[in-house]
Amino acid sequence: MANTESGKAFEYACLLAIYDFYKEKEVPVEIIESPQLETAKSYFDALSDHGKNDLLAGEAAIKLINLLEPKLDHYADNSVLKLTLQTDSNGQKGDVRDILCIRNDSKRKSWELGVSCKHNHFALKHSRISPTIDFGKEWLGKQCSSEYMDEVGRIFANLKPYVKEKWDKVSDKVDKVDDVYKPLLKAFMDELTRLDEEYPGEIAPALVNYLIGEKDFYKVISVEKKHITLITPVNLHDSLNERYKDHRSMFSIEKPKLPSVIYHIGFKKVLDKKTNAINQSDNTIIVTCDEGWSFSLRIHNASSKVENSMKFDIESVSTPESIRSFIAPWNV
């Protein structure tokens, strides 16, 4: 099963685990039907193990999240906990939550909790870079310079004659590292530096909001090999952990500080264990900010064929100490 399909299956498993958990506790709960729910269910139903591991991962997650969110199982009269899957377009707009748990009480007050589901991977984003994508505008709300767009266009223009051909068939004509990866990363780093200098104090927090998400949520990662689930509360906007009347969370979730400064942008350094030399990565850069934030951005071709775009695989290298992860073992 492809990564996208297994990811959708895990989203459905987590939603189903939440539903079953509260149904057993006799909390009024319902699942909102939608096209994206049907798609995710079809992938879940196609799993070779009938979704057993995905369900175990989801069950471990909701048992812990329930201890942190009193409003899930404490509620006003006639309030129903409604569960829904979001569309992928929400993620592209900065809302990375896959599942929403929604409550409306008799006074029409609305409350929602989001969950982001990751299946055996830790990536934050898989953003594209291309001649038509203004990353400054899309990521940070600040337009890239014409010099950057022209440079990226020039790099991809060299690939145009080979689009749709297999990369291994054109390796004698195009050096993927020296002709594509490194020039694109250098252009990206130069432009990010320029934007940070032009808009001091604005780019670093905007970058974190884009990469981490514009809405608070719980990140749930299934680590299948170890039979554990990692649960990370992401509380940038201080909306998690709300009390309900006298009911409080078992733990207090802190609001992490956003960065204001980009300290350094550069190629990742890699230790060659054979020579004990420190070399520069061919495809990965590190962006380091204040307040404990740093990220790695690895560029790669998302297809075996030449395309008019490349992809970033973006992961956290470090986050503030106030962002803590919980480990929940599966009930196997």
Say if residue 52 is in the same domain as residue 178: no
Say if residue 243 is in the same domain as residue 268: no
One digit per residue, the tens of pLDDT, for the chain of length 332 reads 677 899 999 999 999 999 999 999 999 999 999 999 999 999 999 988 877 899 999 999 999 999 999 999 998 888 899 999 998 865 566 789 999 999 986 565 689 999 999 987 788 999 999 999 999 999 999 999 999 999 999 999 999 999 999 999 998 999 999 999 999 999 999 999 999 999 999 999 999 999 999 899 999 999 999 999 999 999 999 999 999 999 999 889 999 999 999 999 999 999 988 999 999 999 999 999 999 999 999 999 988 999 999 999 999 999 999 999 999 999 86
Taking the C-alpha atoms of residue 216 and residue 313, their distance in angstroms, rounded to an integer, is: 22
Say if residue 88 is in the same domain as residue 186: no
Say if residue 183 is in the same domain as residue 236: no
Count of domains for the chain:
2
CB 255 within 8 A of CB 319: no
Say if residue 100 is in the same domain as residue 76: yes
Say if residue 201 is in the same domain as residue 222: no
Say if residue 201 is in the same domain as residue 311: yes
Residue 232 tokens, joined: 């990370």
Say if residue 178 is in the same domain as residue 252: no
Say if residue 101 is in the same domain as residue 17: yes
Instruction: Work out the number of other CB atoms within 10 angstroms of the CB of residue 119.
Output: 22
Say if residue 55 is in the same domain as residue 145: no
- Which residue segment(s) compose the domain that 116 sits in? 3-122+214-256+322-329
**Overall residue count recorded for the chain in this entry:** 332
CB 217 within 8 A of CB 116: yes
Say if residue 200 is in the same domain as residue 150: yes
Beta bridge partners of 271: 278
> What pTM, to 2 d.p., does this model score?
0.89
Say if residue 197 is in the same domain as residue 269: yes
